[in-house]
Amino acid sequence: MKRKWKINPIYGKELKVNVRTFKFALYVTIYNLILVGIALFSFEILFNVAWNNVVKYSSATAIYAILVAVEIAMIIFIVPANTAGCIAGEREKQTLEILLTTVMTPWQIILGKLQSSISMIMLLVLSSLPVISIVFTIGGIGLMDLLQFVIVVLVTAIYVGSMGVLASCLFRRTVQSTVLSYGFIVVACLVTVLIPIVAYTLSNMYYYNVMMAQGTAPNVGWSALPMLLNPVVTVVSMIFTQYAGIDIIQEALEEMGGMSFVGEHWFYISLAVQLGVSALLLWIAQKMLNPLRKIRYKNKKKRKKKSK
Amino acid sequence: MIKIDSLCKNYGSFVALNHLNLSIAKGEFFGFVGPNGAGKTTTMRILSGLLRADGGEAFVDGIDVRKNSSQVKSKIGYMPDFFGVYDNLKAIEYMEFYASIYGITGNSARKLCMELMDLVNLAEKAEFYVDNLSRGMKQRLCLARSLVHNPEILILDEPASGLDPRARFEMKEVLGNLHEMGKTIIISSHILPELAQMCTTIGIIDHGSMVMKGSVEEIVSHLNSSNPLAIKVLDRKEEAVRILKENPLVRNISLEEKEIIVGFEGKEEEEAGLLASLVAQEIPVAAFNRQSGNLETVFMKVTGQKEVLEG
Ligand SMILES: Nc1ncnc2c1ncn2[C@@H]1O[C@H](COP(=O)(O)OP(=O)(O)OP(=O)(O)O)[C@@H](O)[C@H]1O
Ligand SMILES: [Mg+2]
């Protein structure tokens, strides 16, 4: 039998619904207005001769950096809220059961949901590319940089979206899922940064107070590895490399004493790690969604509630 | 078509299904009856792949529901007892969404969905938003939805609950048509007279196991022998009661205005003997007959006391 490539039914349905609603057009408009606002504001500050006695055209890339930061921040804040309801919401609306009795596998359901919530964000980002390209008119960043940016956006959206999808499968209420997915975000974006900071501080204290600054400080480069999970670090390292030509991660790692290979290829390794983790999260999510799985996590919870 | 073998399901320490056995032949219209909490929904959910059984096996068309649930799903159209609909979708789009899951898209999908909506008398509501349909319409829409992949088996969990008499009648007609089209239908309901009219076979479940299964007539006649005798005497009631009490097969006696209702466990010959003993004492017996039951009385009896069902 010849199999045509088919659009995921859930994606197809949600795309139809989303695009039809007035809300979507509103989002695109507001979003781009905000970006244009930020860009114009930055232009004003950077290029207005009244405020700067020297106009540096390289500062155009600063606008690019600001816009990228805004877009990534938006993804990190919006996508979890979007995806956290994807399964829990169907549960609440009592539409999930019907879906599960169709021939759609839990994998297809999950991927369809992820696809729909990411594609909305991707549409927003793509719609904003013209604004970002303003920077092109002045120069400073190249096509490769823009391509990297799109890749980072895509990976971050998948990564953060997977967290939301998993959270959505773990709870029956959207509220709980939303809280959990922001919990994931906090761990990925904040906790992973705290680990190397603490490790580096401790190693310094040890070096100066115990080793009396003799010899070499303990190597704590490994403590930076959890930061591979941090999408913000990935973006920051990308911006710094593109903008100032400094690889801050590499330098930080050298300061901490090693992991130079990882430091050199941080950008791509972290993207790969984040994609890998996404796959793992999605795999767990589809396991949780499968009604025939062995561990009945949900029922246990329900029973506890009943017995109270 | 469907074979359930010693199926068990526990919710924690609660036993919902207790070695349930059931087999349903192709083309059967099977009415699943039982009191609240008997395990009907649980059984249906296991068959549809929504629930994992803890023990025993279930086969649909020879396919194990646990091992090959995806194959089973393509053969079954399931309608849950409670369900929601997507807002923001028109009825026809709702149908087309499920059609697209089965790879039916475009014009053929629209045609099929319109046909199905016509089947459940919803064609004129195609352009309505699903949210704005009445409950009965949603139920019919859900039935139409469960037909998009032309399943051989329909598993309908209380499809007529909450419907008005007219809508129930229409639902009954639709189901009758589907049965004529050769579909095997399993339906659970608490509206027994309707089930008795529609179904070719009835199964009664209680406390997670099948109590009996057969055609409506079989079930009713099977239980008739344990129905009480209604004896109408014109006079000397007390004396009649005394004579009745002497008979070892009489279980209990209750007096009603005109009749004596006697729980009597005996065959027809013994009934004759009982009557003879009354007549021998010259009691004026005007009527003497077994109360004939219907599905409802059978249901009451079978699910009420546990002793009766095991005997
Ligand atoms: N998820 C669950 N967790 C715990 N117990 C459950 C769960 N689902 C069902 N039960 C219990 O299992 C038993 C059987 O339930 P089931 O829904 O199968 O009954 P039913 O025959 O469909 O009843 P009804 O006629 O009310 O629909 C009930 O006692 C119910 O309390
Ligand atoms: Mg039920």
- List pLDDT tens digits, range B39-53: 999 999 999 999 999
Residues from A contacting B (CB-CB < 8 Å) are: 6, 9, 12-13, 16-17, 20-21, 93-95, 97-98, 100-105, 291-294, 296, 299, 303
pLDDT band for B310, please (50, 70, 90 cuts): very low
Taking the Cβ of residue B69 and every Cβ of chain A, the question of whether any pair is shorter than 8 Å is answered with: yes
Q: For the ranges A209-218, B49-58, B92-101, B226-235, which has the lowest average pLDDT?
A: A209-218
**Residues in CB range of A296: below 8 A, 6 or more apart:** B52
Stretch B174-185: mean pLDDT? 92
The H or E element that residue A64 is part of is helix A60-92
Is the predicted pLDDT of residue A230 greater than 90, yes or no? Answer: yes
Is the predicted pLDDT of residue A17 greater than 90, yes or no? Answer: no
Predicted local confidence at residue A305, as pLDDT: 46
Q: Where do the H-state alpha helices sit in B127-184?
A: 135-145, 165-180
pLDDT band for B267, please (50, 70, 90 cuts): confident
Is the predicted pLDDT of residue A298 greater than 60, yes or no? Answer: no
Stretch B55-59: mean pLDDT? 91
Cβ B41 under 6 angstroms from ligand 1: yes
Please tell me the residue having the least CA distance from ligand 1 atom 29.
B37
Cross-strand bridge partners of residue B202? B31, B214
Mean pLDDT value across chain B: 86
Q: For the ranges A45-54, A296-305, B195-204, which has the lowest average pLDDT?
A: A296-305
Helix (H, G, I), strand (E, B) or coil at B134: coil
Cβ B38 under 6 angstroms from ligand 1: yes
Distance of CA B16 from the midpoint of ligand 1 (Å): 7
Do the Cβ atoms of A124 and A27 come closer than 8 Å? yes
**Greater pLDDT, A65 or B33:** B33
For A58, list phi and psi in degrees, rounded to 5. Answer: -65, -20
Predicted local confidence at residue B226, as pLDDT: 67
Predicted local confidence at residue A159, as pLDDT: 95
CB pairs under 8 A between A and B: 76
Q: List the domains of chain B with CATH numbers.
A: 2-215 (3.40.50.300), 228-291 (3.30.70.980)
Is the predicted pLDDT of residue A68 greater than 80, yes or no? Answer: yes
Take residue B106 and report the two structure tokens written for it.
């475009």
**Count of positions (residues) in chain A:** 308
Give the tens place of pLDDT for each residue, A121-176. Answer: 888 888 888 777 776 666 667 788 888 888 999 999 999 999 999 999 999 899 99
ipTM of predicted complex: 0.82
Predicted local confidence at residue A300, as pLDDT: 46
Contact list in B for residue A20 (CB cut-off 8 A) is: 88
Predicted local confidence at residue A32, as pLDDT: 82
